[in-house]
A and B are shown apart, each in its own frame.
Chain A
């Protein structure tokens, strides 16, 4: 019961944060709402037995990626969003599309709502559901070694790409 309550609280924070992201007009507000969503999601992960994922969610998402977002917003001194009507399609097709999509998925989930209920205590007791760092690490370095290595290459490429893209254009050199 306590856990269900926790789930509902975290879930409510998540949804509120997500909606706030949409409603707010200044990007830094949206970014802060997103951080809140992520922190609350970390709580949900803890309820699901994904201890390590929760920690990494906070460290990587909230602590690194979102800092980067905030940094860029501050760097570019982004102002409040202006309202332009650049796209009719997004309103005419997109929003109804999303509505339909959401309704369909919700309907499917309700149709198949015989999925099991879980209690965090049981999840933590069972080594096949408790995402302890050691277990996850073993999986990463055995079964998922190849994807792991490939992602590290991906990160390297991303770093180089980011450096190249964000570099100030050096006109002097280009003329040579």
Chain B
């Protein structure tokens, strides 16, 4: 019998913080707002850590379920406020609360000068609440609440600077794009209810376990694909990735927390959580793998051409998320979650670091106006270096371990073409990250700001624009350093082994073919058919890809900074296509949005609404008016007349009732 951890306390702590700041924060001084925000997230982290210690000490039998309260009971269907703790949610819990807390700390420094300080912390805590609900839920419905809630918090935070049109538009874009994904998710839930009559993870898993592996397109495949649609929306995969780069309109810590470390990985978490379904639906798994790989590759290529520091990181995030889906698609969920974790560390770090850079330059985001910042902001430079190295896959930093794990799993379980694309992506990743690194920190400073001598702790909001380049205050540096340490050492965490029991129920070997999924169930992931030497070869390849990227970036952006321009001119057609993000936004606009608006305007608005609904409503109103014209004579204003009508009516009703009784 497991002890009762009161898991519900963890999300509720965050909610309490959100409520206090949201309801009363307006009147609080900033110090109190910050204290409340940090206190409750910190407490949530400590609570999670307590649970984690109990788990690691082995005194807890996983999975562990806690029922808080009954929620919906309707016939045989029921969904409860219940929390589910296993290795997977444990990892997510620690990542969300830990990284979340660090980013909260960072935000205190970063957002100090901004308006709506209390609003920001309230939203941020609200996000934590929903994310924790999502992670800890024991059924799909509660998970869906968290899922929608993080979408809401994301919307609120992207549009945090709502006075800027672009920010408001980006928020709406994110929300609407997410809705498309949520639609898929909901349909998957409906299918699950229809098939299994329950949304409990355990019940569904049991139900799925009794079904055979589907050879072609069956119910489970449909569920899987719809789940993947949901994941595509939340985790910014092709074709729904378009919102994430725009989401960079939000404050940078938000980009770090929501659009890099936690929320966007919810899709990966959800796929991993539903692995039993995907295990039985190889076709769906293939879809996941293909989408993941394509996303990883295309987003990486776009990343090369971007000049906005945050956009580069955004496309990098999309690309890395693609990696995670690639891993899931190869049924290597543990590897995917492992990458999720390391990615949370280094991408959170990179975003926060970029925030620090932006902060230092008082709001400048264009890398073309940077350069040579190495000396001026040494701390930021150091931690950015750690992050860049980690993401580029240079051993022994965190990104290397997880990425190598993924590539190896894909090589051994999936078609080689996926592996090749993954390797190519690793190379591109390394290239654009070092491109960012060189452009930002090396060479000559190309901006306009004077180099200032302001001390630490003298924080300026960007946009205030006074003073020169300055290092960020300690409150921002400390979280950066902690994340840097995690990025460096995070790869040594034995996450895949820790996670293995969750996914040990059987895995799928996608043999060949993207379409027809002939698959067979094998024992466990770890028993790979390849030999050790193959593994080392592969490791060599990925290290080589990383190194090559570094080398190329060094050549192009440090030694010969004039070369990139010339190359771009040489292949200007291709370059423009990539720089314009393959015109995806334009294509969507032309293919979907414009026809939708057109149809809405011509047919729904003029035809259905004006022609149909309005006519009915208007005619109804006219009819009512005409009837009223006659009936209004009943309303004589005389009290006794009303009483007379009433008495007569009562007589009729009673007479009818008596007649019914007699009959």
Contacts and interface: CB of A to CB of B under 8 A. Distances in A.
The 5 A-B residue pairs with the shortest CB-CB distance, nearest first, are A94-B644, A97-B647, A97-B648, A90-B644, A90-B640
19 contacts: A86-B638, A86-B641, A87-B638, A87-B640, A87-B644, A89-B636, A89-B640, A90-B643, A92-B644, A93-B645, A94-B647, A96-B648, A97-B644, A97-B649, A97-B650, A100-B651, A101-B647, A101-B650, A105-B654
Contacts of A101: 647, 650-651, 654
A96 B640 CA distance: 14
Contacts of A108: 658, 661
Interface of B: 636, 638, 640-641, 643-651, 654-655, 658, 661
Interface in A78-110: 86-98, 100-101, 104-105, 107-108
Nearest to B637: A86
A86 B647 CA distance: 17
B651 A97 contact: yes
A97 B638 CA distance: 18
A98 B644 CA distance: 9
A54 B500 CA distance: 79
Q: Which of B643, B647, B654, B658 has the most CB of A within 10 A?
A: B647
Contacts of A92: 644
Contacts of A94: 640, 643-648
Nearest to B655: A104
Interface of A: 86-98, 100-101, 104-105, 107-108
Q: Which of A86, A87, A91, A98 has the most CB of B within 10 A?
A: A87
Nearest to A98: B647
A87 B648 contact: no
Contacts of A107: 658
Contact of B636 (A87, A93, A100, A104): A87
Contacts of A93: 644-645, 647-648
Given A86-B638, A93-B645, A94-B646, 9 more contacts: A86-B641, A87-B636, A87-B638, A90-B641, A90-B643, A90-B644, A94-B640, A97-B649, A100-B651
A47 B638 CA distance: 41
A16 to B, nearest CB: 23
Contact of B644 (A89, A100, A104, A105): A89
A108 B654 CA distance: 10
Contacts of B638: 86-87, 89-90
B640 to A, nearest CB: 4
B641 A87 contact: yes
Nearest to A88: B641
A89 B658 CA distance: 25
A98 B649 CA distance: 10
